[in-house]
Structures are given as structure tokens and as C-alpha cells.
Amino acid sequence: MATEKEKMLAQKPYIASDPELAAERILAQKTCFQINSTSPELTEERNQLLSSLFGSTKNTFYIEPPFHCDYGYNISIGENFYANYNCVILDCAEVIIGDNVMLAPNVSIFTAGHPIDAEKRNQGWEYAIPVSIGNNVWIGGNTVINPGISIGDNTIIGSGSVLTKDIPAGVIAAGNPCKVIRQVSDEDKLYYFKQRKF
């Protein structure tokens, strides 16, 4: 018989109040508390704590406290990752983030969900579906990424977006629900913001 953790990792319905999972969340919360309590100049100490918490990290990354997650071990970040203040990652399933990804403040990544049926929801059932973010992605502030979403390489997500569907590579997308606005083009190399030239 599969444990609740095995069910969670297999993307099957599971009970999140299971003692093993509850203990793992407390451990992650304790580590996040340590990370968020470090003095601002102690970057190396914070990164050591983050490396011990995450499933995998590369050599260069920076996360502005406060940061919060459910388990930590399901998070993998690429080289040159940056997350601004108040990043929340509910990593009940894998969250795989590529190289050169930038998250603005208040970005939330959710792999966890609850049943639509109220009776099942009230019984404590949950599910978790992985999220993947490609290379060279910039995600604007107050964005919510829902379970099962994939974002392609070289894409920009505008502030305040709510992602309910996959977003392809090489586009600018925004809105609630988030939709593609246009392709990133060679002309974008000439300007840094609204026709303001480099």
C-alpha cells in the first residue's frame, strides 16, 4: 500500500495531514524561518540553507527573504536564478526552473490543488501536479502560476498574471487568465521599455 507521500509524488490524490508529510512541512518551515531570519549581508549562509532545502541548485542564485515553500526537496533551480521578495512555492510536486530565470516580488508557484467536490475537499484530499519554467524567463510581480503549468524558454510574463494554461517559448504574455500578447522580436533588442532606446 502506497504512503501518502508516495501518492503525492505520483500525482495521485493524497491526505496532506498525514504525519510524515506534516513533519516534512515543519522541517521546511523551520529552514525557511532560518533563511528569513538571517542578516541581509549573510548571503552565503542563506544560500547554504537554501541548498540544503532544495532538491538541486546550481552555483549562482539569489533569493530575497522572505521565502516560503512546503517541502523544498521538490524544487530545482538553474544557474543565475533570482527571486525577489515574498516568493512562495508550494512544491508538493516538482517545480523545475531553468537558467537565468528572474521572479519579481510576490510571485507564487502552486503545484497543490484541492478537489472541486466539496465532500472530498472537506475530507482533506489534495493533489499535486508539477510546474516547469524554461530558461531566460522573467516573471512579473504578483503573478500566480497554477498546478501543471509549463512556461517556455525566453518568455516574459507580465505583472499580475494568473497562469491557467501553458505559455509557449519566446512570447510576452499577461492577464487573468494569462494569454499571449505577442512574440519577442529582434526589435526588442533596440529598446528597454516602451520604445525607450538603449
112 in any annotated domain: yes
Quickly state the pLDDT bin for 4 (edges 50, 70, 90): very high
197 in any annotated domain: no
List the catalytic residues: 114
The enclosing domain of 186 has a CATH number of 2.160.10.10
196 in any annotated domain: no
129 in any annotated domain: yes
155 in any annotated domain: yes
- As a whole number, mean pLDDT of residues 166-185 equals 98
- pLDDT number for residue 33: 98
Residue type, 147: P
CA dihedral (47, 52, 55, 60) in degrees, to 10, reads 20
- pLDDT number for residue 72: 98
Tell me which residue range forms the domain holding 126: 4-191
Q: Write out the H or E segment, with its range, that includes residue 68.
A: strand 67-69
198 in any annotated domain: no
- pLDDT number for residue 97: 98
What percentage of the chain reaches a pLDDT higher than 70? 100
- pLDDT number for residue 195: 83
The count of structural domains within the chain is: 1
User: pLDDT by residue (tens digit) across 53-103?
Assistant: 999 999 999 999 999 999 999 999 999 999 999 999 999 999 999 999 999
- pLDDT number for residue 118: 98
Output the pTM of the full model.
Answer: 0.96
CB atoms under 10 Å from CB of 58, counted, come to 13
- pLDDT number for residue 198: 86
- pLDDT number for residue 88: 98
Q: Is the pLDDT of residue 194 over 90?
A: no
User: pLDDT by residue (tens digit) across 36-47?
Assistant: 999 999 999 999
Mean pLDDT of the chain: 97
> What gap in Å lies between CA 68 and CA 90, rounded to an integer?
8
